[in-house]
Structure 1
Amino acid sequence: MAGGAIGGNVGAKKGGATDNASNMSIAHPPPATKPSAHAALKEKVKIHHVKHFLDKIIWGLEDQAIKDPYYVKFLDKTQFTMGVLGVMLTHYFVVAQPTQFWMWYLVCTPVVVALRIMYFKRVGWQYFLLDFCYFVTFLSIVHVTLAPSDDRRLFRVLFIYANGPLVWAVVLWRNSLVFHDIDRMSGVFIHIMPCLLYYCVHWHGCSSSSMLLHPPPSVNYFLPPSHPQDSLDRVDFAYAIIGYLIWQVLYFVKTEVVDRAALDARPDLLTSLRWLTTDRKNGFSLLVLGLCRYGGIMGPTEAYDPRTTKTKAIFVAAQLVYTVVTFAPTPLLFTSHFLHCMYIQLIFVAAVHNGASYYFEVFAKLYHHKLLLLQVPTAAAAASTSSKGDYTDDM
């Protein structure tokens, strides 16, 4: 959460945020304002302007090219195709080459993280890169490349993280499979791919002679939970909680001590706390607020204030509770191949459903307005050229 959940879901911001921004921008302005048609359309699609930065970086196009409606549609079609191909390749490795999945993971992860770094810095969301999901992503790369072959403890802890708080973020933060949107697709990647990685490592092992990896587990797809080597124990969960607390302390020191002055001076910079306490539609945030009011921790009409110690303490505690609660299903997943498969499929269905909701409820309207906005300057220029030509002919 302030970690596992948020970082990868700024695109819900990404499932929620950008959607909410889109919904807000599409709403008709009050009649009293009467903005020009061009200004109204510009307001409706301003969230997409920053995404042109990614197009420029990835495709090497000039500003004028990425503002042309033809190129906008071409790039979106291309990115949609690449998004679908990425999902197909991921499915191929999980089903046909599970022992090689770690290679696909190591190829994709640096690219996805690099894109998010560029995008987040552009929009003032760089502090989301400190979230728990990126902490786990870093540890997973260290594990599959540098961990000793007999290190089972780190594997178990990362299995708990990947199948607990990280993958649940897809549901809680409404991560969505929107194939043409690099930001949303990378959000799904950050939260789902570690789960797939440790599914493959646990049930199929890793076939590699060049990397220091732990040996594959038993070929028995239904490992007996009574066997000490084939079940998670209390020590595993203790280490998982300790690891989470270490991350939380480091995160708190960075945001509340080292960078506090910078954050106070820049209210436009978003952190997990600022996002949660200002998002009036986030289910988790509203649930915590309701429980705090019910328990008397907050007044009946009191709202969050990310500057106060009370709000900070509430969310540190709430995030810890969320993390521990999402640990609960991992023992069953560790001992049952069938349940683990069903679990991953349900999470994936949630991401697909969220993507479908975005396409039909938000994107259809937003994309139409986006193209109209891009066509306004083009039409104006064409009209200007035409009028000049008429004047010359008359002369």
Structure 2
Amino acid sequence: MSLRTPIDRLSFLELIDPSSLSYIDFSRKTLDKVKKSTKNLKEKAAKIKISNDEFNILKTRLSKKIDELDDNLMARLNASKTEKWFYAFSLYSIFFAGYLIGKHPSFFHIYYSILFTILMPIRLYSYWKRDFNYFLADLCYYVNTLVMLFIWVFPSSEHLYMVCFCFTYGTLAWAVITWRNSLVLHSIEKTTSSFIHLMPPVTLFVITHELDKEFKSVRFPGAASFNYNDWNLWNGILWTSSYYLIWQSLYHYFITIKRAEKIKKGKVNSFTWLRKSYSNTALGKLVNNLPEPLPVFAFTLIQYGYQLSTMLLCPFWLQSKRAASIFMTLIFVIACYNGATYYIDIFGKRLEKEVKRLQKEIAELQAEHLTNASSQNSSSSSLNDSKKDD
């Protein structure tokens, strides 16, 4: 067998051999050929007349399993029309964002707002349908709301501008690394998650470093009057902590306290999800082993410490356009790499898992048929012996 043998050139025995998986070429062209060959094989098998009832049952079950494999493969490889259109939309959105930053930066906050009004209702509906609506109270949505308030309601507020910059270049941007946000362009869910973490800091970058001074003084006077060189880090921490305290207080009152019974019954929020996801880590064990209600306070302090640590470099991003550009480029590349990992590793592993599952089921069916055939032969031999004795 060659290093990468097309799957349509393999014999049936080679196909069901697990050791051949690493040598098979799973390209789209060869998979289309497999689909066609499978269809022809089933048509030929349907014309074969076999008197053995057990073998007919085996043939029917095997044909059903092949159909299932075919459906799974095509579901993985052939995206729906919605996903195809959304892939095109996502790709063009990235291109158009770059065009606006370079050519018309004064329109970028409008572009961000339009995408926000398109994607957030979809996220609201999809999370509500999947019973994930408590996640909509997380910090990332709160920060996006603050950015929208600064853009359209309080553009003259210096402290709101500073808070938005610290939050977006702090928690939101670093969350791409911490929580492995993936820019998977065909997925509305994953692209929306990337949007709420990437677009706010890019918008603040444009407002801070790309806008003309005259336009900025009229449209965003809070950003124009802000003295970047004399920014006091402690003052920034104080203001950001105040807004963080507002969010955390509202979150624990309306989610942790008012929805306590639903959470106990299995309703998922970010706190319960993190406790379960990191239960095997040292920090997770430490938090989970604390007596109630201390885990909630520990989680709050850890999250607050994370926010403070990620905003320590904000003075550099504020003062240096080059440093801010490099940082945002790094975050975007990481999101793209995570998306590529999803496409290559996740899809590839799913395909390999489906093939291995089919091989296992075929082997079980063959073993079952051989066992039944052996028992039938034994019964026939016993009957013939009894007739001879008579």
Q: TM-score range by the shorter chain?
A: 0.5 to 0.7
Question: Does 1:236 pair with 2:236?
Answer: yes
Question: Does 1:195 pair with 2:201?
Answer: yes
Q: Which amino acid aligns with 2:85?
A: T
Distance 1:304-1:127 versus aligned 2 partners, 3 A rule: farther
Distance 1:114-1:289 versus aligned 2 partners, 3 A rule: same
Report the secondary structure of 1:242's partner residue. Answer: helix
Question: Does 1:143 pair with 2:150?
Answer: yes
Indicate the percent of aligned positions where both proteins have the same amino acid: 23
Looking at structure 1, the residues matched to 137 and 65 of structure 2 have their Cα atoms a distance apart, in angstroms, of: 36
Following TM superposition, by how much is the alpha carbon of 1:311 offset from its aligned partner in structure 2, in angstroms?
2.1
Q: Which amino acid aligns with 1:190?
A: I
Following TM superposition, by how much is the alpha carbon of 1:217 offset from its aligned partner in structure 2, in angstroms?
3.9
Following TM superposition, by how much is the alpha carbon of 1:277 offset from its aligned partner in structure 2, in angstroms?
0.9
Looking at structure 1, the residues matched to 347 and 201 of structure 2 have their Cα atoms a distance apart, in angstroms, of: 29
Give the equivalent residue in structure 2 for 1:62: none
| Structure 2 unaligned blocks of 5 or more | 1-60, 355-390
Give the equivalent residue in structure 1 for 2:182: 176
Please give the per-residue CA displacement for 1:90-116, whole angstroms capped at 9, x wherever unaligned.
Answer: 222222222221010110001111111
Superposed, which structure 2 residues align to 1:351-366 within 5 Å?
351-366=335-350
| Structure 1 unaligned blocks of 5 or more | 1-35, 47-66, 293-297, 371-395
Following TM superposition, by how much is the alpha carbon of 1:317 offset from its aligned partner in structure 2, in angstroms?
1.3
Question: Does 1:273 pair with 2:290?
Answer: no
Question: Does 1:248 pair with 2:257?
Answer: no
Preserved CA contact (<8 Å) 2:171 2:310: yes
How many residue pairs match? The answer is: 291
Q: Which amino acid aligns with 1:342?
A: I
TM-score (norm. length: structure 2): 0.66
Give the equivalent residue in structure 2 for 1:257: 257
Please give the per-residue CA displacement for 1:270-291, whole angstroms capped at 9, x wherever unaligned.
Answer: 100111011148xxx836237x
Distance 1:119-1:274 versus aligned 2 partners, 3 A rule: same
Looking at structure 2, the residues matched to 205 and 258 of structure 1 have their Cα atoms a distance apart, in angstroms, of: 44
Residue from 342, 357, 365 that aligns with 2:326: 342
Please give the per-residue CA displacement for 1:254-301, whole angstroms capped at 9, x wherever unaligned.
Answer: 112212123223x0x2100111011148xxx836237x4xxxxx6xxx
Question: Does 1:288 pair with 2:296?
Answer: no
TM-score (norm. length: structure 1): 0.65
Q: Which amino acid aligns with 1:104?
A: Y
Residue from 170, 173, 185 that aligns with 1:167: 173
Residue from 306, 309, 315 that aligns with 1:325: 309
Report the secondary structure of 2:221's partner residue. Answer: coil
Q: Which amino acid aligns with 1:254?
A: F
Following TM superposition, by how much is the alpha carbon of 1:81 offset from its aligned partner in structure 2, in angstroms?
1.5
Looking at structure 2, the residues matched to 41 and 331 of structure 1 have their Cα atoms a distance apart, in angstroms, of: 59
Distance 1:39-1:237 versus aligned 2 partners, 3 A rule: farther
Report the secondary structure of 1:339's partner residue. Answer: helix
What's the Cα RMSD here? 3.6
Preserved CA contact (<8 Å) 2:161 2:222: no
Looking at structure 2, the residues matched to 178 and 119 of structure 1 have their Cα atoms a distance apart, in angstroms, of: 17
Of Structure 1 and Structure 2, which has the larger fraction of its residues in helix? 2
Question: Does 1:103 pair with 2:110?
Answer: yes
Distance 1:39-1:340 versus aligned 2 partners, 3 A rule: farther
Following TM superposition, by how much is the alpha carbon of 1:204 offset from its aligned partner in structure 2, in angstroms?
2.5
Select between 182-191 and 97-106 the one with higher mean Cα deviation. 97-106
Distance 1:323-1:215 versus aligned 2 partners, 3 A rule: closer
Q: Which amino acid aligns with 1:77?
A: K
Preserved CA contact (<8 Å) 1:41 1:369: no
Superposed, which structure 2 residues align to 1:16-27 within 5 Å?
none
Following TM superposition, by how much is the alpha carbon of 1:205 offset from its aligned partner in structure 2, in angstroms?
3.2
Following TM superposition, by how much is the alpha carbon of 1:233 offset from its aligned partner in structure 2, in angstroms?
3.7
Preserved CA contact (<8 Å) 2:278 2:284: no
Superposed, which structure 2 residues align to 1:54-133 within 5 Å?
72-133=79-140
